[in-house]
Amino acid sequence: MLFSVVVAGSLAANVGAIEVVGVPDGTHLGIYPYVGASFVIPGEDVTWIPALAIEWSPDESRWGFVATGTADIALSPRLGFDINVSVIHDQAGTNFGDAIFLVGAGPGVSIFVGRYTFSPYVSLFKGIDVSGWSLVPGFNAAMAL
């Protein structure tokens, strides 16, 4: 018997920026603007949002891909509490062999205004293949397509 899974949801375009700060010393590690796409899967109390983005740090000459999963818990029709989990790939130029990988998580809030969503957040990241931690405050703006 063949079957298919249909997931009701909608696409969104995302833009934003993050500041990466070394922990515990507070070293500036880069500002990364990014663009990406997400798929919004509404639930009764929790909306699930997988996303993929590409980021670039003009001040550090690094770039990478970011995969994120967000659970948005509805607090009101216009406000949500977010729990974010991300995996980041980061490298200099075309030097794929020296790419580093990080995993992180943290809270945020989402403010809904029509088809737009504005989300300040902060995450704590740990290097997977490098030592060290970083604190990453950011801001995302999404537009439902």
pLDDT of residue 7: 56
Gap between the Cα atoms of 94 and 14, Å rounded: 24
pLDDT exceeds 60 at position 2: no
User: pTM here?
Assistant: 0.90
* Domains, the chain, ordered by start: 14-144 (2.40.160.20)
Residue 107 exposure: Cα atoms within 13 Å on the Cβ side: 4
Q: What is the pLDDT of residues 92-102, one digit of tens each?
A: 999 889 999 99
Residues 6+ apart with CB under 8 A from 7: 41
Picking from 120, 89, 92, the residue whose alpha carbon sits closest to that of residue 107 is: 120
Share of the chain above pLDDT 90, in %: 90
Phi-psi region of 61 (alpha: psi -120 to 50; beta: other; left: phi over 0): left
